[in-house]
A and B are shown apart, each in its own frame.
Chain A
């Protein structure tokens, strides 16, 4: 009984702390400011990744795709919460890339820790081009 009460109390405490965190604020959603920033993040996170000249920054600043210098892979940076997360997209990394209205790519990774992500490019042509490129990576 004591254990159950402790668990219930803990659940209430967890909910209260998260609610307090939301209420008090103090964090800023992360944004990718430029392709140079995306390239630097990719170099830092992926260590052996050398960003090339080709890339695209999402219109909302929440994602960026950067082709590697040798052209064999694409680096992906995603803004999540107040941090950035990177992935190397190589052959076999993507299960499918769907294009939606408004130049949006829905990217489905074969990655247990990064299942689906949305990239808003704002231009349908660019979205189709990158979706094709990512599907064939």
Chain B
């Protein structure tokens, strides 16, 4: 039996627009969230481009999943529990995919786009890459579930639900959810940590929907009241140009590979963690954390918990 489902993200788009406008009004009236038009424009242009790329490359993903379906171990079909199981297993897959997106430069080149804003609001949720097809994610992200016997339609559907869930957590407007919810689900607080560049927060909270994966695999970090999140990436961008935002890390990989002295170095530039270099002259997240830990042990001479005067000016 084959069924056709409408793409849930298309239904969600009007709600995305409404919530973004509501958050802008909230930001204006309370000063508890931040928007800047050029940043918003860049994020939304990235989202629009991502949708177009999705339309262009959807056929490749669908063809791949349909192709591998013939090798499935079981025929699970469209039974009711399959939807729930697929949702949970897809989120588990998302956790690992997301973790590798931060720890393997080839995947980071794609995912860095989403982290490249120094703002954290609902438009940031839509700041998505255009060239995901280069990562060949479509070949392995949902493949094991299809090979297990879940229909590709279910995998695509629950994958969209997962992304829709992640929209609302990109906000500073919500401080904390009820304790039971924070314990199980990914929330604005948990995800703020994920988007922060403070050394203590780097490479933490990879969850999509359920925060339990981070707690299970040792990557959970709660948001600390005394450590205000600073958003962005370690080397923040000096451009709002969507094409440059899309390509910058791919360009960096190409330059590094072209200048590498051996095939081993070239492979390192592609597959080692972001910030890796053969001579160790650059900083990975691990290095940054080690430096920060060492300074903290030595008495914490640096005041890197405090925002600087120019970076956090109050709203008008």
Contact = CB atoms under 8 A, between A and B. Distances in A.
A3 B66 CA distance: 22
Given A37-B309, A86-B236, 5 more contacts: A7-B52, A7-B55, A13-B13, A22-B37, A25-B316
Contacts of A80: 238
A42 B8 CA distance: 44
B108 to A, nearest CB: 14
Closest 5 CB pairs of A and B: A114-B238, A26-B28, A14-B44, A83-B118, A81-B36
10 contacts: A6-B51, A18-B44, A25-B28, A28-B314, A28-B316, A30-B311, A81-B240, A83-B311, A84-B311, A113-B235
A98 interface: no
B315 A115 contact: no
A116 to B, nearest CB: 9
A33 B24 contact: no
B98 interface: no
B139 interface: no
A21 B43 CA distance: 13
A-side interface size class: 35 or more
A120 to B, nearest CB: 16
A21 B37 CA distance: 6
Contacts of A85: 118, 236-238
A44 interface: yes
- Which DSSP category, helix, strand, loop or mixed, fits chain A's interface? mixed
Interface in B275-316: 283, 288, 291-292, 302-304, 306, 308-311, 313-316
Interface stretch (B87-95, B174-182, B211-219, B244-252): B244-252
Given A25-B316, A31-B313, A81 B244 contact: no
B36 A17 contact: no
A10 B236 contact: no
B8 to A, nearest CB: 13
A81 B239 CA distance: 10
Contacts of B51: 6-7, 10
A82 interface: yes
Contact of A114 (B239, B245, B311): B239
Q: Which of B292, B314, B316: most chain A CB closer than 10 A?
A: B316
B41 A18 contact: yes
A40 interface: yes
Tell me which of B35, B247, B248, B292 has the highest count of chain A C-beta atoms within 10 A of its own C-beta.
Answer: B35
Contacts of A117: 238
B10 interface: yes
B40 interface: yes
A26 B311 contact: no
A79 to B, nearest CB: 6
A37 B25 contact: no
B44 A37 contact: no
A47 B287 CA distance: 11
Contact of B36 (A33, A47, A82): A82
Interface string B196-231: 000100000000000000000000000000000010
B17 interface: yes
Given A7-B51, A14-B48, A20-B24, A84 B308 contact: yes
Given A17-B20, A18-B40, A41-B311, A24 B283 contact: no
A78 interface: yes
A96 interface: no
Nearest to A111: B238
B52 to A, nearest CB: 6
A11 B13 CA distance: 12
A93 to B, nearest CB: 12
A111 B118 CA distance: 18
A36 B316 CA distance: 24
B27 interface: yes
Contacts of B52: 7
